[in-house]
Amino acid sequence: MTSPLLTARGLAKNYGPRAACADVSLDLYEGEVLAIVGESGSGKSTLLGLLATETSPDAGEVHYRFRDDEVRDLLTLGEAERRLLMRTDWGFIRQDATQGLRMPVSAGGNVGERLMAVGARHYGNIRATAEDWLARVEIDPGRIDDSPKTFSGGMRQRLQIARNLVTQPRLVFMDEPTSGLDVSVQARLLDLIRTLVAELGLAVVIVTHDLAVARLLSHRMMVMKGGRVIETGLTDQVLDDPREPYTQLLVSSVLAA
């Protein structure tokens, strides 16, 4: 069996006297979808930031297995290597699409940016690739020159996905990608994500407060409360037979919420 793609050991982060994240360890394998669930303030977004090296931890370490199979400590990575990793082998889908997209730039420019960042210099080819990806995320390629400002919430999220997947990353971080969308739009987006994840064999860490999202997308899940992981296991197992009282409460309130 291959070694994990991403491993974290003893991650901790404090904001003032408050521990936003305490002693979190995890392994993530290629093609695996891990959901981190919890209420707001539980530390799940902080954990995502730590894993994606956007936030530096007060303690702990994160290792990643690169395409050449070398496993490296991400905290010792130089800025240049880290940024290269983030725009090639990784993706990050933000809850707020305006944070994940360049809003003044056209849809095609948004998708093409990563290609240009890694040296693509043929306009026609960049455009063709962008059109292809727009189609894959079910956006009419005829809208390639439109600004994402004219897109609906669901379209913006799909554009964000295309923008991230165009360099064929192996690992994608998602921060509440469906929240704030209408239920029907959510369902379509979740379906798209599930299809793409399966087709491309992506590893995903997804943060969500919505247990239905976790059930639909993830293989495994972690439940967080007060900055700590209180329960972890296979998604079906955790949702159908929660051991911790807090998880039981979460699961039982999901329909009410």
Partner 1 sequence: MYVAVKGGEAAIDNAHALLDHERRGDPSVPELSVAQIREQMTLLVDRVMTEGSLYDPDLAALALKQARGDLIEAVFLVRAFRTTLPRFGTSEPIDTDTMRAIRRVSAIYKDLPGGQVLGPTFDYTHRLIDFALAAEGEPERPAESQAASEVMPHVASLLDGERLIEREPAADPNIPVGDLTREPLDFPAGRDLRLQALARGDEGFVLALGYSTQRGFGRTHPFTGEIRIGDVEIEFVPEELGFAVPLGEMTLTECEMVTQFTGSAAQPPQFTRGYGLAFGRGERKAMAMALVDRALRAREFGEEVAAPAQDEEFVLSHCDNLQATGFVEHLKLPHYVDFQAELELVRRMRAEHEAGGQTDALEAAE
Partner 2 sequence: MNEHAQATGYNFAYLDEQTKRMIRRAILKGIAIPGYQVPFASREMPMPYGWGTGGVQVTAAILGPDDVLKVIDQGSDDTTNAVSIRKFFARTAGVATTTKTVEATVIQTRHRVPETALRSDQVLVYQVPIPEPLRYLEPRETETRKLHALGEYGLMHVKLYEDIARHGHVATTYAYPVEVAGRYVMDPSPVPKFDNPKIDDCEALQLFGAGREKRIYAVPPHTKVRSLDFEDHPFRVQTFKDPCALCAAEGVYLDEVVLDDRGGRMFVCSDTDYCEERREAGHRGHLAGDDPLSPVGRGRVAEGDRVREEHKSDSASPSPRPSPHRGEGEEALP
Query: Which of the listed partners (partner 1, partner 2, none) does 145 bind, with a CB threshold of 5 to 8 Å by partner kind?
Result: partner 2
Nearer of residues 17 and 119 to partner 1, judged by Cβ: 17
Query: Which of the listed partners (partner 1, partner 2, none) does 44 bind, with a CB threshold of 5 to 8 Å by partner kind?
Result: none
Member of 118, 128, 198, 249 binding partner 2 (CB under 8 A): 118
Q: Least distance in Å: CB of 14 to partner 1?
A: 6
Q: Is 55 in the site for partner 1 (CB under 8 A)?
A: no
Member of 83, 149, 194, 243 binding partner 2 (CB under 8 A): 83
d(CA 88, CA 122): 18
With helix as H, strand as E and coil as C, how does the chain read? CCCCCEEEEEEEEEECCEEEEEEEEEEECCCCEEEEECCCCCCHHHHHHHHCCCCCCCEEEEEEECCCCCEEEHHHCCHHHHHHHHHHCEEEECCCHHHHCCCCCCHHHHHHHHHHHCCCCCHHHHHHHHHHHHHHCCCCHHHCCCCHHHCCHHHHHHHHHHHHHCCCCCEEEEECCCCCCCHHHHHHHHHHHHHHHHHHCCEEEEEECCHHHHHHHCCEEEEEECCEEEEEEEHHHHHHCCCCHHHHHHHHHCCCC
Query: Which of the listed partners (partner 1, partner 2, none) does 117 bind, with a CB threshold of 5 to 8 Å by partner kind?
Result: partner 2
Query: Which of the listed partners (partner 2, partner 1, none) does 102 bind, with a CB threshold of 5 to 8 Å by partner kind?
Result: partner 2
Nearer of residues 49 and 242 to partner 1, judged by Cβ: 49
Residues 138-177 that bind partner 2 (CB under 8 A): 144-145
Listed residue (117, 196, 214, 125) closest to 158, CA to CA: 196
Query: Which of the listed partners (partner 2, partner 1, none) does 17 bind, with a CB threshold of 5 to 8 Å by partner kind?
Result: partner 1
Q: Is 54 in the site for partner 2 (CB under 8 A)?
A: no
Residues 5-24 that bind partner 1 (CB under 8 A): 14-17
Q: Is 88 in the site for partner 1 (CB under 8 A)?
A: no
Q: Least distance in Å: CB of 77 to partner 2?
A: 13
Nearer of residues 16 and 78 to partner 1, judged by Cβ: 16
d(CA 63, CA 56): 14
Kindly write out the interface string for residues 218-257 of this chain, putting x where it contacts partner 1 by CB under 8 A and - elsewhere: ----------------------------------------
Is beta strand 71-73 parallel, antiparallel or unpaired with respect to 59-65?
antiparallel
Q: Least distance in Å: CB of 17 to partner 1?
A: 4
Binding stretches for partner 1 (CB under 8 A): 14-17
